[in-house]
Chain A
Amino acid sequence: MKLTFINYVAREINCKIVYYGPGLGGKTTNLQYIYQITSPENKGKMISLATETERTLFFDFLPLDLGSIQGFRARFHLYTVPGQVFYDASRKLILKGVDGVVLVADSQEERLDASIESVSNLNQNLNEQGFDLNKIPYVLQLNKRDLPNTIPVEELKRQLLFKGEPVFEAIATKGTGVLDTLKAIARQVLVELRKSA
Chain B
Amino acid sequence: MNPRSLDLHNPEHVRIKAILTKILKELRAELVLLINHSGQTIAHAGLAEDIDLVALASLAAANVAATEGLARLLGENEFSIVFHQGKQRSLHISDLSKRFSLVLVLSGTVSLGLARWKVKLATAMLDEVFQDYEKGLKRENTVPAKGQSRAAFSRRFSDEELNKLLGD
Which A residues form the contact surface with B (CB < 8 A)? 1-10, 14, 16, 44-45, 47, 49, 58-59, 61, 63, 66-70, 72, 74, 77, 89-90, 92-94, 96-99, 183, 186-187, 190-191, 193-194, 196-197
- Chain B residues with Cβ below 8 Å from A99 are 38
Q: Is the interface of B mostly helix, strand, loop or mixed?
A: helix
Extra contacts besides A16-B39, A70-B161, A197-B153 (5): CB < 8 Å: A61-B55, A61-B58, A72-B153, A97-B4, A194-B154
Whether B161 and A69, one on each chain, are in contact in the complex, defined by CB atoms closer than 8 angstroms, is yes
| Cα–Cα distance between A94 and B156 once the two chains are bound (Å) | 32
| Cα–Cα distance between A114 and B54 once the two chains are bound (Å) | 33
Contact of A8 among B7, B36, B165 (CB under 8 A): B7
Whether B38 and A77, one on each chain, are in contact in the complex, defined by CB atoms closer than 8 angstroms, is yes
| Cα–Cα distance between A186 and B40 once the two chains are bound (Å) | 17
Query: Chain B 1-38 against A: per-residue CB contact (8 Å), 1 yes, 0 no?
Result: 01011111110010000000000000000000000111
Contact of A183 among B37, B38, B61, B166 (CB under 8 A): B166
Q: Offer 24 A-B interface pairs, CB within 8 angstroms, sorted by A.
A: A2-B2, A5-B5, A5-B8, A8-B7, A9-B9, A10-B8, A44-B54, A45-B54, A49-B62, A61-B58, A69-B164, A69-B165, A70-B156, A77-B40, A77-B58, A93-B62, A93-B65, A94-B65, A96-B37, A96-B38, A97-B4, A183-B166, A193-B154, A197-B153
Q: Is the interface of A mostly helix, strand, loop or mixed?
A: mixed
